[in-house]
Structure 1
Amino acid sequence: MNYKSIIYLAIAFTTTIGFAQTNPIKVVEDFKPSSVNQQGKLYPQVNSEGRVRASISAPQANKVQLDLGGVKYDMVKDEKGVWTGESLPQDQGFHYYQLNIDGASVPDPGTVYFYGAGRLGSAIEIPATDQDFFAMKDVPHGLVSENIYFSKLTNSFRRCFVYTPANYNEDTKTRYPVLYLQHGSFEDETGWAVQGKANLILDNLIASKKATPMIVVMDNGYAYKPQNNADLDKKVRPESVFEEVVINEIIPMIDTKFRTIANRENRAIAGLSMGANQTMRIMMNHLETFSHYGGFSGTSNYPSTDAIDVNTFLDGKFKNGEALNKKITLFWLGLGTKEPSPFPGSVGAFRTMLEQQKIKYKYYESPGTAHEWLTWRRCLNQFVSHLFK
């Protein structure tokens, strides 16, 4: 390389650096407060690109970050001690996040708090192009009631939330089919009614006559056999009795307390992620109780992506495809197109097994969504439209 070439290269490099410094990435300044902010709070905000802007007053802090989607974004402090910063564009949908202040992760005081990731914390709603199906509309609305009961199997008080369709209390003669709907890992019985907007999805579908009016029961998937002091001292992992709680306590209670059509033909069970695993096992162990199944982002072979041995999987419950087709009215699976590994592989292996056994099922993919609530809202919307037809 000659002298002139070096000079030209140096000039070009300097010009490029100067251009980058004077022309940073332009952020579209049309930020609006998030739809899940606490009343009167201006932050966090979302813009048309899907960027999230957070702001918090922390004059004594040395470093504050916005922790969203597995990435920590540095925030900048102004002369008043207010830290502000924004993320890169996020996918449409509902996302948990937190703020990191001098190494401590805390909820953003600007948002409503949701139980997810094993804690009460903040979340952001990136507006979806198809959000109309779970929007609040001027249609007849059902009721979500809190039902507290004592579980002898867990020796504890538990609760479930029950959706009853519009006019349930006015029309006291009509009886309804029931969907038992479960949350995922590190979430609880509030998930579907709050993050999932299940009641609004049902209200809109029923009002448009795209779904059969039904009761929906949302319970807590964490149910354990009581432990003695020795087990507690040894930190022995508790034994799950959720299946027994569903079959022996929840269903009898719901059939007694609500106007249900108490037979298998009018009873469905579904869940997301961990809940998909749980409900599939419950369904296959109790085909005398359920006739409809929905699995959102999960199956009972999770996390394995290996080929399924139909002779041993769930004690051979899927061996006789012809018999299952006569018993199961609807077997439904859903998955986001951006789901992380191993979900696509494990669901794919399960579908292969169903097809090899000639078991009828319906499959849906949520475009552009990962392992999160927009995927599961869309799954519920599609699944419910096929139930009890």
Structure 2
Amino acid sequence: MKQFLKIIILIAIINCQSSWCQETASVVEDFKPSEVNQPGKDFPQVNSQGRVRASVVAPNANRVRLDIGGVKYDMKKNDAGVWIGESAPQDEGFHYYQLEIDGASVPDPGSLYFYGAGRWGSGIEIPASDKDFYAVKDVPHGLVSENIYFSKITNAWRRCFVYTPAEYNIDAKKRFPVLYLQHGSFEDETGWSSQGKANFILDNLIADKKAVPMIIVMDNGYAYKNQGNTTESKPVSVFEEVMMNEIIPMIDSKFRTLSDREHRAIAGLSMGANQTMRIAMNHLDKFAYYGGFSGTSNYPSSDEIDPATFLDGKFNDGKVVNKQLKVLWLGLGTKEPKPFPGSVGAFRAMLDKQGIKHIFYESQATAHEWLTWRRSLYQYAGLLFK
């Protein structure tokens, strides 16, 4: 019996060693520093398989893990007190991540920081096969400016970022159409010009003559009544009011815009898709183009939509909608998690039932993430103002 147990244990050890060897052998050792590292930092790194390797000095820590994509990976400490570990292969594109040190979630000191998941934290780029469309190229580049303004509606200081195309500063008399572009949940006005690379996408589209030179306005979708009053117990969202009564008038007064509805578009991702759809459909006298990236206003419901009641019946008359919206555009990643495929699918079914023309784009092999939305902006922007 004892001999039998020894054999079983030996087999188990051999199997474990074999599995460990296979796992180790499967990691391709061609790691390179991420393109979004802080200057001079060698970690985090990415290899050709899309694995992320992180490293942090924490000699007194008992356990350190790399937290990315909803999965936590144990890291190992060497004799110098440096913890190193890597993830499984990740999808192409940008991802938020963090380190967990003895249970405390902290940003990786080696990466640049991005605002997402409701905090400033680490980000990583897994090089995409189609990254050329948002790459920094030798083409005329536009300007992204930071605009501070006081909102009387929220009783608070706010800001938006505004992209003006390269041509804006060349021809001082020319006026330009405007796209109002919104971020998603737990992100802010920095998202589209940072994680989203919106300015580079438009620079390249315009240089290739695939898009009309346009202004892009990126504001913060979190706007609440009496935001400056800290005693307010339950904030009321007033972003639509801020957009229509403060942001748009400010942009039209500060920039050389074409201010009629035929030269004004709106779009957003996830939460921003919900917000901008409501704004567009409530103000079709102000907008002629709508883009929804990974979301619609029936989120999160995948139930059948009654056009007579949905958004106060704004989609009930398909002929009127077709006449008012020059482009109704929807985009979704093929790997999107629930509830997004269901809610977008239900919305599209309602559009088809009402005979409402729309364009649907699928981003291949991406989920609810920035590569989906970069691709969506690229496809959508090329259809505007033509």
For the aligned pair, the TM-score class normalised by the smaller chain equals over 0.9
Answering whether residue 265 of structure 2 is matched by residue 268 of structure 1, we say yes
Structure 1 residues 1-389: aligned runs within 5 Å:
16-17=15-16, 19-26=18-25, 27-226=27-226, 232=232, 235=233, 237-389=234-386
Q: CA deviation at 1:247?
A: 0.5
Q: Tell me the secondary structure at the aligned position of residue 144 of structure 1.
A: strand
Give CA-to-partner distance per residue, 1:23-57, whole Å, 9 cap, x none: 44421000000000000000000000000000000
Q: Aligned residues, how many?
A: 382
Report the RMSD for the aligned CA atoms in angstroms.
1.9
Residue identity opposite 2:69 in structure 1: G
Q: Would the alpha carbon gap of residues 114 and 21 (structure 1) be closer, same or farther in structure 2, given more than 3 Å must change?
A: closer
Residue identity opposite 1:313 in structure 2: F
Q: CA deviation at 1:21?
A: 4.8
Residue identity opposite 2:47 in structure 1: N
Residue identity opposite 1:340 in structure 2: P
Counterpart CA distance in 2 for 1:188 and 1:230 is 20
Q: Would the alpha carbon gap of residues 16 and 110 (structure 1) be closer, same or farther in structure 2, given more than 3 Å must change?
A: closer
Give CA-to-partner distance per residue, 1:199-253, whole Å, 9 cap, x none: 0000000000000000000000001100697963xx3x21111001111111111
Residue identity opposite 2:18 in structure 1: F
Q: Would the alpha carbon gap of residues 247 and 139 (structure 1) be closer, same or farther in structure 2, given more than 3 Å must change?
A: same
265-274 vs 150-159, greater mean Cα deviation: 150-159
Counterpart CA distance in 2 for 1:229 and 1:12 is 68
Q: Would the alpha carbon gap of residues 263 and 61 (structure 1) be closer, same or farther in structure 2, given more than 3 Å must change?
A: same
Give CA-to-partner distance per residue, 1:121-166, whole Å, 9 cap, x none: 0011000000000000000000000111111101111111000000
Q: CA deviation at 1:9?
A: 9.6
Residue identity opposite 1:69 in structure 2: G
Counterpart CA distance in 1 for 2:183 and 2:249 is 21
Counterpart CA distance in 2 for 1:304 and 1:38 is 41
Q: Would the alpha carbon gap of residues 148 and 304 (structure 1) be closer, same or farther in structure 2, given more than 3 Å must change?
A: same
Counterpart CA distance in 2 for 1:101 and 1:13 is 31
% identical equivalent positions: 71
Residue identity opposite 2:128 in structure 1: A
Residue identity opposite 1:20 in structure 2: S
Counterpart CA distance in 2 for 1:362 and 1:256 is 33
Q: Tell me the secondary structure at the aligned position of residue 265 of structure 2.
A: strand
Q: Would the alpha carbon gap of residues 14 and 253 (structure 1) be closer, same or farther in structure 2, given more than 3 Å must change?
A: closer
Q: Would the alpha carbon gap of residues 323 and 43 (structure 1) be closer, same or farther in structure 2, given more than 3 Å must change?
A: same
Counterpart CA distance in 2 for 1:204 and 1:29 is 33
Q: CA deviation at 1:20?
A: 3.1
Q: CA deviation at 1:19?
A: 3.3
Counterpart CA distance in 2 for 1:154 and 1:213 is 32
Counterpart CA distance in 2 for 1:18 and 1:67 is 25
Q: CA deviation at 1:22?
A: 4.7
Q: Would the alpha carbon gap of residues 10 and 31 (structure 1) be closer, same or farther in structure 2, given more than 3 Å must change?
A: closer
Q: CA deviation at 1:170?
A: 2.1
Residue identity opposite 1:54 in structure 2: A
Counterpart CA distance in 1 for 2:141 and 2:350 is 40
Residue number in structure 2 paired with 1:3: none
Q: State the TM-score, normalized to the length of structure 1.
A: 0.95
State the 4+ residue runs in structure 1 displaced beyond 4 angstroms. 6-18, 227-231
Counterpart CA distance in 1 for 2:282 and 2:135 is 36
Q: CA deviation at 1:319?
A: 0.3
197-206 vs 167-176, greater mean Cα deviation: 167-176
Q: Tell me the secondary structure at the aligned position of residue 83 of structure 2.
A: strand
Q: CA deviation at 1:311?
A: 1.0
Asked if the contact 2:167/2:213 (under 8 Å) is kept, the reply is: no
Q: Would the alpha carbon gap of residues 227 and 158 (structure 1) be closer, same or farther in structure 2, given more than 3 Å must change?
A: closer
Q: Tell me the secondary structure at the aligned position of residue 84 of structure 1.
A: strand
List alignment gaps of at least 5 residues for structure 2.
none
List alignment gaps of at least 5 residues for structure 1.
1-5
Counterpart CA distance in 1 for 2:18 and 2:138 is 52
Q: Tell me the secondary structure at the aligned position of residue 90 of structure 1.
A: coil
Counterpart CA distance in 2 for 1:278 and 1:150 is 21
Q: Tell me the secondary structure at the aligned position of residue 224 of structure 2.
A: coil
